[in-house]
C-alpha cells in the first residue's frame, strides 16, 4: 500500500464521513465492552461507594475528595496502586501541614493571606510539572484548592482547622479503601486468569491474520482492540503470575509466554495500521499460523503441553512483519512445549526488577520549562481567584481546580482536557445529578437505597472513565460532579446552586486558561510531536547499543528501551488527537509535521519490532562472533533513521531520503548466515525501503 493510501486511512476527515457519524462511531467504539472492563468498573464503584458509605455514616465533612480519590489512583498493577495511594496520602498530608502553617502565619492580615494563596498556587503548579506521580500532584492541587476555600470563609479558626483535617481524613480513607479492594481482587483472581489473558491475545492475533487475508474487512474495530491491548500491556498478567503459587518451571514458562504474547500484539498493530495487501505466499503463511494458534489455544484450554511444530519451509512472504510474527509464534509454541523444559534449554526470563524510584523528574530544579509552566498556571488561577473574591462569589472556586486539572504543557492537550472536564461536569451535575434529585432522591428514605443509587450513578461515569484517552477524562468528571452535588451535605439537596456555581466556575477557569495559559510560553502539539518523534527515531537507531552492555542484562536493557519507544509512540498518537483542538488553519510547516507523523509512525513501529527481533536473536545466539549481515543491516538502519530525523527537524516536504542510499544486502555477506538472521535482515531492508520512499 502506498503512502498516499496510508495517509487517507489514518485521516478520519479524508473519508468524507460527517462529524455526527464520526462522533457516533467514536462513542460506540469507546463505550463498547472489552475483556476486563466490567471488573475494572466494579473495583472503581466498590471503592467510591464504600468511601461514600463511611462519609455518610460518620458524617465526615469535605468527603467529596475522599469519594473521588479512588478514581485518581493507578490500577495498572497492585504495586502501582500501593505506590500511587501512598504518594497521594503523603502529598495531601504535607499539604495539610503547609495549609495549617500558612494559615497561622497569615491570620489577621489580608495581604499575608493573599501572598499565602499565591505562593501555594505556584507551588502546586510547579509540583504538577515536576512530580513523577501525576495523580499525587493533582490530588494535592485539589486539596489546596478546597482548603483555600475553607480558609476564606468567615467562620472561626477552630472550624476551619477541623474541616481541613476532616478533608485529609476523607482522602486517607479513600486511599486505604482502594488499596484494600485492589488487594482483595489481586488475591482472589481465578487460577486460570493468566491462561485466559493469553487466550484472549491469541484470539485477537488470529483475527488480525484472518482480516489480513480477507482484505481488512473489519480493520477499524480491530485496530481499536489491538491498541487497547497494547496500551494495557502485560503488567496485569505478570502481577497475577507473581502473586500465584506456581512452581518455578510453570512460572518461567508463563512469564515467557506472556512476554511473547505482548510482542505478538505489538507486531499486529502496525500490520493493521499500514493495511498491507496480501500476496499468495502471505496468505499461505497466515493459514499455517492461524492453524498453529488454534492448536495452541486448544492445548491451553485442555491444560495440555502444546505440540512443538517446527515450520521447516522458508516462506518467501511479501510482508516483512509476517516473518517476525512467524518467529514469535514459533517461540510461543516452544515456550509451552514440554520438550523445551525436558531438554533443560530453557532460559528463564526474570520478573522485572524493581528500580530506584525518584520523586521528581531529572531536570526538576534546572529546567526553565517547569518554572514557565508554573508561572502560566499560577497567573490563570490567580486571575480566577481575584475575580470571584472581588465580587464575593466564592462558589466559583471550581475555577482554580479547573486550572490545575487541565494544565498541560501542550496547548491542544490542555484544551481537550478542558472540553472533557466541562462536558463531564455538565453531564454529572446538571443531567444525572439534577435528574436524580428531582425523580429519585425524594423517594429514598434509607441509607441502603441511597447506596444503591450512588453505585448506579457512579458506574455510569466509571464505565466512561475506562474508555480510551479520548473520552476517559469525561467519565472521571462525571463521577466528580455527581459527588460534588450530592455529597456536599448530609441531607437531601434540593437547591441547584451547587451545580450552577460549579458549571460557571469551570467556564471561568477555562476562559482564564485560554486567555492566559495558552498565550504565555505556549507550546503547540505540533512542536511537541516534532521533538518527540525525532528523539524517538534516534532512540530506535541506537537500539543496537544494548549489545554493548553486560551479557547478563542485555535482554532487560533491550526490553526497557523498546517499551520506552512504544510509550513515545502512544504519546505521539495522543498529541495527534490533541492537535485537532488547536487553532486552524495551521501553518504549512505544521501540516507537514502532522502528515509525516501519521505516515511514518506505523512504519517506525514495524521497524522497531523487526529490529528488536534481530537484536534479540543475536543476543540469544550461541555464536560469539558478530554476524556480518546483521551488523550491516544495523548500520544501514541507523544511517537511514538519522537522515529521517534530520528531514523531520528541517520541516521538509515528502521526498526520498537519499536516492543513492543502497538498501540491498551485500551478496558477499549472505553466505554462512543462519536462516533466522537472513529472514529478519530481509524484513529490515524491506521496512527501510518503505521509509526511504515514503
> Using one digit for the tens of pLDDT, what is the confidence trace for 161-209?
999 999 999 999 999 999 999 888 877 655 567 778 888 888 899 999 9
φ and ψ at residue 354, rounded to 5 degrees: -75, 130
Cα distance between residue 524 and residue 649, in whole Å: 15
What is the distance between the alpha carbons of residues 235 and 237, in angstroms, rounded to a whole number?
5
- Copy the grid coordinates of residue 261: 504474547
- For 447, residues 6+ apart whose C-beta sits below 8 A from its C-beta are 53, 56, 57
Contact 204, 226 (CB under 8 A): yes
Domain boundaries defined on the chain: 1-29, 32-188+365-519, 190-342, 525-693
- Banded pLDDT at 498 (limits 50, 70, 90): confident
> Where do runs of H (alpha helix) occur along 244-397?
248-274, 280-301, 320-335, 338-342, 368-390
User: Do 635 and 685 form a contact (C-beta atoms < 8 A)?
Assistant: no
Task: Pull the grid cell for residue 676.
Answer: 533466522
Q: Of 621, 608, 635, 622, which is closest to residue 677 (Cα–Cα)?
A: 621
Read off the pTM. 0.75
* Neighbour tally for 586: CB within 10 Å: 15
- Tens of pLDDT along 107-120? 889 999 999 999 99
pLDDT band of residue 14 (cuts 50, 70, 90) is very low
The pLDDT tens digits of the residues spanning 585-644 come to: 667 777 888 888 888 887 888 788 788 888 877 777 655 555 777 888 888 888 889 988
- Cα–Cα distance measured from residue 69 to residue 88, given in angstroms and rounded to the nearest whole number: 9
> How confident is the model over 286-321, as pLDDT tens digits?
888 888 888 888 777 766 655 545 444 455 566 778
Mean of pLDDT values over 420-436 = 88
Angle at 224 between CA 218 and CA 230, to 5 degrees: 130
Q: What whole-number distance in Å separates Cα of residue 525 and Cα of residue 534? A: 14
Amino acid at each position: 500500500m502506498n503512502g498516499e493510501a496510508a495517509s487517507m486511512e489514518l485521516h478520519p476527515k479524508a473519508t468524507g464521513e460527517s462529524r455526527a457519524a464520526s462522533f457516533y462511531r467514536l462513542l460506540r467504539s469507546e463505550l463498547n465492552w472489552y475483556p476486563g472492563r466490567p471488573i475494572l468498573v466494579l473495583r472503581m464503584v466498590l471503592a467510591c461507594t464504600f468511601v461514600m458509605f463511611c462519609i455518610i455514616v460518620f458524617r465526615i465533612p469535605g468527603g467529596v475528595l475522599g469519594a473521588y480519590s479512588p478514581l485518581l489512583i493507578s490500577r495498572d498493577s497492585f504495586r502501582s496502586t500501593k505506590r500511587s495511594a501512598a504518594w497521594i496520602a503523603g502529598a495531601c498530608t504535607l499539604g495539610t501541614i503547609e495549609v495549617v502553617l500558612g494559615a497561622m502565619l497569615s491570620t489577621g492580615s489580608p495581604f499575608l493571606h493573599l501572598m499565602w494563596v499565591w505562593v501555594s498556587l505556584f507551588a502546586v503548579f510547579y509540583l504538577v510539572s515536576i512530580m513523577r506521580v501525576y495523580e499525587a500532584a493533582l490530588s494535592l492541587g485539589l486539596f489546596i484548592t478546597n482548603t483555600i476555600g475553607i480558609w476564606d470563609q468567615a467562620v472561626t479558626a477552630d472550624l476551619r482547622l477541623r474541616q481541613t483535617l476532616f478533608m485529609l481524613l476523607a482522602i486517607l480513607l479513600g486511599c486505604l479503601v482502594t488499596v484494600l479492594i485492589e488487594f482483595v481482587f489481586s488475591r482472589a483472581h481465578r487460577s486460570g486468569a493468566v491462561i485466559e489473558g493469553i487466550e484472549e491475545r491469541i484470539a485477537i492475533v488470529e483475527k488480525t491474520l484472518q482480516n489480513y487475508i480477507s482484505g481488512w474487512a473489519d480493520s477499524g474495530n480491530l485496530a481499536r482492540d489491538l491498541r487497547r491491548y497494547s496500551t494495557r500491556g502485560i503488567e496485569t498478567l505478570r502481577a497475577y503470575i507473581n502473586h500465584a503459587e506456581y512452581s518455578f518451571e510453570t512460572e518461567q514458562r508463563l512469564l515467557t509466554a506472556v512476554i511473547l504474547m505482548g510482542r505478538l500484539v505489538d507486531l499486529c498493530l502496525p500490520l493493521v495500521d499500514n493495511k498491507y495487501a496480501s500476496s499468495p505466499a502471505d496468505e499461505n503463511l497466515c493459514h499455517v499460523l492461524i492453524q498453529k494458534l488454534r492448536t495452541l489455544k486448544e492445548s491451553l484450554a485442555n491444560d495440555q503441553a502444546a505440540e512443538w511444530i517446527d515450520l521447516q519451509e522458508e516462506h518467501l512472504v511479501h510482508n516483512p512483519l509476517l516473518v517476525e510474527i512467524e518467529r514469535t509464534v514459533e517461540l510461543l509454541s516452544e515456550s509451552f512445549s514440554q520438550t523445551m523444559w525436558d531438554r533443560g534449554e530453557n532460559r528463564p526470563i526474570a520478573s522485572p526488577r524493581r528500580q530506584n524510584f525518584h520523586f521528581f523528574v531529572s531536570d526538576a530544579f534546572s529546567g526553565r520549562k517547569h518554572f514557565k509552566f508554573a508561572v502560566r498556571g499560577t497567573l490563570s488561577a490567580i486571575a480566577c481567584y481575584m475575580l470571584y473574591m472581588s465580587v464575593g462569589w466564592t462558589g466559583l472556586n471550581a475555577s482554580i481546580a479547573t486550572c490545575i486539572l487541565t494544565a498541560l504543557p501542550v496547548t491542544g492537550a490542555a484544551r481537550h482536557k478542558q472540553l472533557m472536564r466541562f462536558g463531564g461536569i455538565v453531564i454529572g451535575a446538571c443531567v444525572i445529578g439534577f435528574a436524580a434529585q428531582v425523580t429519585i432522591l425524594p423517594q429514598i428514605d434509607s441509607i441502603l437505597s441511597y447506596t444503591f443509587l450512588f453505585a448506579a450513578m457512579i458506574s455510569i461515569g466509571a464505565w466512561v472513565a475506562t474508555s480510551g484517552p479520548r473520552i476517559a477524562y469525561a467519565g472521571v468528571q462525571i463521577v466528580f460532579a455527581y459527588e460534588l452535588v450530592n455529597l456536599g451535605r448530609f441531607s437531601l439537596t434540593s437547591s441547584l446552586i451547587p451545580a450552577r456555581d460549579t458549571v460557571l466556575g469551570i467556564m471561568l477557569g477555562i476562559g482564564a486558561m485560554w486567555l492566559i495559559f495558552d498565550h504565555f510560553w505556549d507550546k503547540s502539539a505540533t512542536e511537541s510531536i516534532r521533538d518527540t518523534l525525532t528523539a524517538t527515531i534516534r532512540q530506535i537507531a541506537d537500539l543496537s547499543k544494548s549489545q554493548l552492555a553486560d551479557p547478563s542484562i542485555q535482554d532487560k536493557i533491550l526490553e526497557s528501551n523498546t517499551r520506552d519507544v512504544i510509550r513515545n509512540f502512544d504519546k505521539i498518537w495522543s498529541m495527534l488527537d490533541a492537535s485537532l483542538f488547536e487553532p486552524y488553519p495551521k501553518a504549512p510547516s505544521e501540516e507537514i509535521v502532522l502528515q509525516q507523523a501519521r505516515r511514518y509512525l506505523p512504519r517506525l513501529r514495524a521497524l522497531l519490532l523487526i529490529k528488536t527481533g534481530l537484536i534479540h536473536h543475536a543476543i540469544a545466539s550461541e555464536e560469539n562472533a558478530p554476524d556480518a549481515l546483521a551488523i550491516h543491516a544495523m548500520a544501514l538502519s541507523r544511517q537511514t533513521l538519522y537522515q529521517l530525523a534530520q528531514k523531520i527537524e528541517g520541516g521538509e516536504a515528502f521526498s526520498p531520503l537519499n536516492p543513492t542510499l543502497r538498501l540491498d544486502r551485500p551478496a558477499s555477506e549472505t553466505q554462512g548466515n543462519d536462516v533466522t538472521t537472513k529472514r529478519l535482515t530481509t524484513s529490515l531492508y524491506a521496512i527501510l525501503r518503505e521509509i526511504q520512499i515514503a
